[in-house]
Amino acid sequence: MKLIAGNSNLPLAQGISQFLKVPLAEATIRKFSDNEVFVEILENVRGEDVFIIQSTSKPANDNLMELLVTIDALKRGSARRITACLPYFGYARQDRKSGPRTPISAKLVADLITVAGANRVLTLDLHAGQIQGFFNIPVDNLFSIPLFAKDIKDHHTIEDPLIVSPDVGGVVRARALAKRLECGLAIVDKRREKPGISEVMNIIGEVKGRNCILIDDIADSAGTLCNAAEALIEEGAHSVSAYVTHGVFSGEAVDRIQCGSIKEIIITDSILATETVKNCSKIREIPLASFLGEAINRIHCEKSVSFLFD
Average pLDDT over residues 205-211: 92
What CA–CA distance (Å, rounded) separates 170 from 174? 6
Average pLDDT over residues 241-269: 95
Residue 112 has a CB neighbour count (10 Å cut-off) of 16
In the chain, what percentage of residues exceed pLDDT 70?
Answer: 95
Residues whose CB is less than 8 angstroms from the CB of residue 54 and which lie 6 or more positions away in sequence, other chains included = 5, 6, 7, 8, 9, 63, 66, 67, 70, 84, 85, 86
Instruction: Please state the residue numbers annotated as binding site for D-ribose 5-phosphate.
Output: 192, 216, 220-224
Calculate the average pLDDT of the chain.
93
Catalytic residue among 190, 194, 208, 282: 190
Domains of the chain: 2-142 (3.40.50.2020), 145-287 (3.40.50.2020)
Instruction: Please state the residue numbers annotated as binding site for Mg(2+).
Output: 127, 167
Residue-level pLDDT at 197: 60
Average pLDDT over residues 135-143: 96
Q: Which of 265, 270, 158, 136 is nearest to 209 (CA)?
A: 158
2 catalytic residue (yes or no) = no
Residue-level pLDDT at 198: 57
Between CA 13 and CA 209, with CA 173 as vertex, the angle to 5 degrees is: 115
What CA–CA distance (Å, rounded) separates 242 from 225? 8
Residue-level pLDDT at 306: 86
Residue-level pLDDT at 302: 94
Instruction: Please state the residue numbers annotated as binding site.
Output: 34-36, 93-94, 127, 167, 192, 216, 220-224
* pLDDT band at residue 200 using 50, 70 and 90 as cut-offs: low
pLDDT tens for 18-45 read 999 999 999 999 999 999 999 999 999 9
